[in-house]
Structure formats: C-alpha cells, structure tokens
Amino acid sequence: MQINIAKKSQAKEQDVTDEGIYRERRSILKKMGFVGASALLAGPAQADLFDIFSNKEETKFKVEPLKFKADKQTGTIKLTPEEKATHHNNFYEFGTKKSDPAENAQNFKVNPWQLRVEGAVDKPLTLDYDDLLKSLPLEERITRLRCVEAWSMVIPWIGFPLAALLNKAGVGSKGKFVKFTTLKSPTQMPGQANRFKGGGIDYPYVEGLRIDEAMHPLTMLAVGMYGKTLPPQNGAPIRLVVPWKYGFKWIKSIVKIELTERQPINSWNQLLPNEYGFYANVNPEVDHPRWSQASERLITSGGLLSRNRIPTLPFNGYGEEVAGMYKGLDLRKNF
C-alpha cells in the first residue's frame, strides 16, 4: 500500500491554478446556476450573464477608522444601515446600476492621491492622501442625502468645512464660482472607458457651486462615513457634501477644486439640460420633468412593507440657513 504524504513544498491543487482564476471559476459556476434557473423570466435585475466574463476579484477595499468630533445628534436619529449606504450608489464611473459601484470599485487606488486647489486663489495648494485626513480637524455631521431620483439616506459624514480649505488657499475677489473635478482614470473606472457603461456622461465628472454656496458653513468635504474613511463607491478619498442640494451635486473622488470667474457647466446639466440644472436645490415645488419631487422614499432598514415615504422639505430642511442666498432668484427657472 502506498501512502501519500504531501510535502510542504508540494503544490496543493489550488496552488496550481492562479488563485484569482480558481476563485473566479467558483463564481462562474455560481452564476451559471443562477442564470440557468431564472434568466428566462427574471431579467437582468440581479445577475448579468455577462458578469461571467468580467474579471472581478473578490477583494474588498480597506477602510480605516478616523478620529473626529462626533455629531451631537448621534443616537437620536435613525441612520440608514451602512450596508445599504455602501451598496446603493450612483457613481456612473463604475457602472450605471446602483449595485455596480460596490462591485466594480473595490480595487480603486486612493493612496497616493493628489487634490489640487487652484485658479483664482492666493496660494494654490496640493494635498496628498495624508493631508486630506490630517491637515484639518475632522468633525461628524449626520445629513440626509436627497437624491434627485426621489430617494434619500441618512448618513453620518466625516470631514471638514470646504471654507476651511478655501481659506487656507486664500479666496480673492476674482473667484465667483468653484469648479470641482473627479479623477479621470479609465483603467480603474469602466464607465469612463466605455461610453455605454458610463451612461453617456462626458468624463471627467464636473460640478460647481457659487462662491457663497461653497463658503457656506454647511458645505463640507467628506473623507469618511460611519466612523471610517470613505469606501470607493461612496467617493473615496474625498467628496463634496452640500446638504441642501440634490445628490448629483455631491461630487465624488475629487482631484481638482478650482476658483473660476465663470459659472462652470456641471456634467448632468451638460447631458440633460432640461432635467438637471446648475443649482439643483432640493425643492418639493419644482418637479423633475419625469417624476414628482414633492416626496421621497427614505431608505432605512426595513423591507418592502416599511412605510418610508416622507414629504420632501424645501432646501432639504435647511431653508433657515440657506434660503437667504437665493433671494430674488427664480428657483423655478434656476432649478
């Protein structure tokens, strides 16, 4: 009788195949089972047949704990579960489906990073990854993200006021607007490499604010959420949070902040100018051409039967703080 005792140096079965392929093989089998059972009727809602061919690794992006001043409302407000906030994202750079960014962004590189602050500033700045997390004191703010698609999430953001950064660079009198630009990296962002995957947006994604909006104390740059650094699908390493504006203004993975004299053309406005404006203030009175903005569904824990429709508030509830900036402006025209 021959007894085989594997030596330490001897290759195990899974060592022969590259581990990535080995794992992928399993996921292919899993997907095939799923596709076989329900592709005919269920449609592509959950699984794409073509997923089989995409090379996805099952590694997860590592987020790190942050030190920050906690929001006073902690514990008194019901938050959207972190799992939901990190798996329901509009970040077309990683695909147009809500589940795409969480799937496709896990290998996104955020370190090294460079954020440049330039244009009509006294002293242009360049911040690297550590600067983003350490050069300004971090605070937590629990804010409801109201998407233009009429859903919302309550998320504890961690960051610093944009004004603090702009003041460091020195805001002269020439800058009337602030233009923000997302990273362009088609090798990492499949939506930028393929026009169809990216929903037709002309990349890189651009957003803009008026200078008074940018300097408003409510406007913040977030580097974290739920106590940790941002995962890539939520805009790592740094994104904008403008609580009284629709989510598409909250630009993600920013590489450039530029003070300009002219109003920048923001990406969604460029793509569909009659549906998305420059201001994009949350406004229950002004409907999107294709759906009502009068109410929203608040995504929290709870399934299909949870009664989660709530009325939408003017300026997302921050009217007292920000309405003054728009005196004399026709908000119906400037939607």
Partner 1 sequence: MTTIRTTINKPLLTMPRKILLFKAFVHISALWIVIDLYYKAINDLLGSDPVKEVIHSTGIGGLNLLLITLAVSPLAKKFKLGWLMRSRRLLGLYAFFYACLHLTSYAAFELQWDLSLLGSEIIKRPYITVGMVVFSLLLMLAVTSPDYCKRKLGKRWQKLHNYNYLIILLVPTHFYWSVKSDVIEPMIYFLMAFVMLYFRRDKFKQIWRKPVDLKR
Piece of 12-20, 64-72, 114-122, 194-202 that binds partner 1 (CB under 8 A) = 194-202
Contacts of 108 (CB under 8 A, 6+ apart): 61, 188, 232, 236, 253
Rounded Cα–Cα distance for residues 318 and 334 (Å): 18
Q: Is 98 in the site for partner 1 (CB under 8 A)?
A: yes
Task: By CB under 8 A, tell whether 202 contacts partner 1.
Answer: no
State in angstroms the smallest separation of the CB of 41 from partner 1. Answer: 5
Binding segment (CB under 8 A) for partner 1, from list 5-13, 36-44, 134-142, 170-178: 36-44
Residues 20, 33, 172, 200: which binds partner 1 (CB under 8 A)? 200
Binding mask 213-252 for partner 1 (x = CB under 8 A): ----------------------------------------
User: How far apart are the C-alpha atoms of 180 and 268, rounded to whole Å?
Assistant: 13
User: Residue 69, SS3?
Assistant: strand
Q: Does 26 bind partner 1 (CB under 8 A)?
A: no
- Pick from 306, 206, 324: which is nearest to 260 by CA? 206
| 219 vs 233, beta carbon nearer partner 1 | 233
Q: Does 196 bind partner 1 (CB under 8 A)?
A: yes
62 binds partner 1 (CB under 8 A): no
199 binds partner 1 (CB under 8 A): yes
Assess 332 for contact with partner 1 (CB under 8 A): no
CA distance linking residue 271 with residue 267, whole number of Å: 6
Task: Report in angstroms how near the CB of residue 220 gets to partner 1 at its nearest.
Answer: 23
Question: What one-character DSSP code corresponds to residue 122?
Answer: S
**Residue type, position 128, single letter:** D
Span 267-286, contacts to partner 1 by CB under 8 A: 271-272
Residue 22 as a binder of partner 1 (CB under 8 A): the answer is: no
CB of 200 to partner 1, least distance (A): 5
Cβ at position 296, least distance to partner 1 in Å: 11
Helix, strand or coil, per DSSP, at residue 146? strand
Report which of 79, 240, 66 is spatially closest to residue 139, judged by C-alpha positions. 66
Residue 39-58 contact track with partner 1, rule CB under 8 A, x = bound: -xxxxxxx------------
Q: Taking CB under 8 A as the rule, which mask of x and - marks residues 134-173 in contact with partner 1?
A: ---------------x-x----------------------
- Is residue 99 within 8 Å of 87, Cβ to Cβ? yes
Q: How far is it, in rounded angstroms, from Cα 184 to Cα 192?
A: 7
Ramachandran angles phi, psi of 254, nearest 5°: -80, 135
In the complex with partner 1, the residue whose CB is nearer, 123 or 290, is 290
At 232, give phi and psi (nearest 5°).
Answer: -60, -35
Could you tell me the smallest distance in angstroms from the CB atom of residue 316 to partner 1? 19
Q: Which is nearer to partner 1, 18 or 275 (CB)?
A: 275
For residue 296, give the DSSP letter: E
Those residues with Cβ within 8 angstroms of residue 142's Cβ, 6 or more apart along the chain or in another chain: 71, 73, 74, 77, 79, 154, 155, 156, 157
Query: Does 116 engage in binding with partner 1 (CB under 8 A)?
Result: no
Distances (CA, A) of 263 to 63, 209, 321, 329: 35, 8, 23, 15
Report the side by side order of strands in the sheet with 206-210: 125-128, 114-119, 254-260, 177-182, 206-210
Shortest spacing between CB 199 and partner 1, in angstroms? 4
Which residues contact partner 1 by CB under 8 A? Answer: 38, 40-46, 83-85, 87-88, 92, 96-99, 149, 151, 196, 199-201, 271-272, 287, 290-292, 294-295, 297, 299, 301-305, 307-309
